[in-house]
Structure 1
Amino acid sequence: MFGLNPNAQQYLARVKSFMQEHVLPYEEQILRDYVTQQGHSDWTQWRVHSKVEELKELAKKEGLWNLFLPDARLGKGLSTVEYAPLAEQMGRSIIAPEIFNCNAPDTGNMEVLYHFGTEAQKKAWLEPLLRGEIRSVFGMTEPQVASSDATNMETTIIADGDDVVINGTKWWSTGLGHPHAKIAIVMGLTDPSADKYQRHSMVLVPLDAAGVKIERMLPVFGDYDAPYGHGEVSFNDVRVPKENVIGRLGAGFAIAQGRLGPGRVHHCMRALGAAERALEMLIKRGMNRVAFGQPLLKLGDNGTKVAKHRMAIDQARLYTMYTANVIDNHGVKAAMSEIAGIKAVIPSVLQSVVDDAIQIHGGGGLSHDYMLTGFYAMARALRLADGPDEVHQAMVLRQELKKYRQES
């Protein structure tokens, strides 16, 4: 059902080859440098590794750039189903998505601009993002409200003459500490009297605009995720022209729905790539490390755990590919249950396999000698990012019950 056509197959083969030849051999060196930076909360000192910049240029030259965008002119014209296996390969390394210019939140932001942006917005922001010259952030989550219910949002985006004025605070804005971050897509409340899902707007806010202040970077389990960072940023009477509004005032939720569909497939497939890498590490360590006269995989139920993880990863991949197929053939709205379902399932699958991989690596698994702590932080964060597990499970329930109400 999800067989790739020859064009998609050759891209998958080329991404695999690029990962093996150019990314994985330098991964340890690059991550060691980033670990040094992660100890510093002063994001102004963070830098992108020179090797990453070199590999980005190489990926661009080899035509492995902007693979996520379903446009044959700006991207490679790959569907969600065709791109999903490529995202899985990129997910095998924490550093890989940026190298292919397929990293979050930029992919989602670029898709927003591609689908909803004006020609002027595309020229000013989409084109530099597609070239990899700048990076972007997405401002939705807020510290003072339960952001699992996005209608709680308190940041305001108010029309004032030819401008809109933004006031509020966002946090966990991924990529805010990146030295190339230049623009934020900010979502906020415009009209509290409107329909519940027509009150909010999205607006493009340059990070150097007057009134924008990056307050701090937020550590995840003690690491600052340099050179990307997850930051808190305040907007104090920030004034930008109305031309910076995406779509129209009040269209924020409709745009967000479109943004989160393919983006969640990308997240989930990258997470499955990390899960595959963690399972490989678990198996190799378990086969080669000996305790009490036996390989670790023969002790306790370690072997059974491997089998369970194999089955769970394969089931999760099929679920995600099915979701991608529904998006491609019927649109994001038709895939609401599936999109929510994979977002609830896949991070937990990753978290489970990484937890067992850490356990079998012993003390080393807790260190930066392996990438397992990075994978674990990714898994745990994904269970909150773009909405917590419980919100996605509630969506699946609502969609399921609708079927029975329609029958009665």
Structure 2
Amino acid sequence: MWRQPKTVWSVAFACVVAFMGIGLVDPILKPIADELGASPSQVSLLFTSYMAVMGVAMLITGWVSSRIGAKRTLLIGLAIIIVGAGLAGTQDTVGGIVGFRAVWGLGNALFIATALATIVSASRGSVAQAIILYEAALGLGIAAGPLVAGALGGMSWRYPFFGVSALMFVALLATWITLPASAERPQPTPLSAPLKALRHRGLLTVGVTALLYNFGFFTLLAFTPFPLDLSAHGTGLVFFGWGLFLAVSSVLIAPWVQRHVGTYVGMVGALLGFAAVLAVMAIWTDDKRVLVVGVVVAGGLLGINNTLITETVMKVAPVERSVASSAYSFVRFSGGAVAPWLAGRLGEQSVHIPFWVGAGAVVLAVAVLSTGHSLVRAIDAQPEHGAERIDSEIEAEAVTVGTA
């Protein structure tokens, strides 16, 4: 799995930097709020605008990529991220930062919707190995984001934005140099294809499951820094531990869980464990030690779920994986867009309520997933739980698949 062409490593590096954007603002949420005189719900819009635009843009990424090709789509996405991140750091109002985070979200949609399929088509080995490599990049990016932001944010909340913009420029150059243009003309994807794909029960079920667990995910990410009340550096270290455990569990623990208990049971166990962690954080919100341990443990559980649900999305519906992924991402990021703002508003009433709401949403996600348990279990009926097959369909597939 680790002996890959330069193309795979350059896209994987770009993935690491792109996914830094998810956790980058955690350590600087409170400094931004303090310096600009904003409330938790106002600064949480840095997540909301980013996720909302990314979710809606997922509906058009397949249409774009199937017409201009994977390389151009990746480069355009990276260029937009460079501009959005860089200009976000120059703003003097929360509204300005929120606006350019939305621009950043558009670039991220174009990039991540193409990155996974590029890694799958260019890598050596099975689909499962490509997914694990992608999830490793995701985990490292999520881990590195808070660490970089904690280090740079201690000097100024603006520096993390500039740092990501600079790293993205390096990623753009690496992708431009190492990724060959496709010799084949891609088959154009209809603009309506992702919405039509949601007619398939399995895909819709998994999408709604992800929407609901994203309430817990982004409650943890966007609200915890406020009751945690540490310095930018301290918050960065906590969320670095979260992202590092997420990466390790994605690569090492998730495949073991899938082999021994199956995809469905693995996802249910990880989600119920995450809901329990949020409930504990809701009860002992005033104890910083509980919050720190809860954040890190949640990273491991989310890493397991992310890897298993990624493969499920790619196999659960009889549609092209590019279309399935766009439809799934559109639905799941809706939860990611609403949750940060809602957590901030609820947290202004009581610091305990956001964690209770997040835990309840994750439990509801399990209930939704259970309605399609037979469809998910069918994946486990394939050889090696459906994780070790790679065929000509995957190799020739249009390069527009992506998850986050």
TM-score by length of 1: 0.31
Structure number with the higher helix fraction is: 2
Q: State the TM-score, normalized to the length of structure 2.
A: 0.32
Q: Which has the higher contact order (CA 8 A, sep 6+)?
A: 2
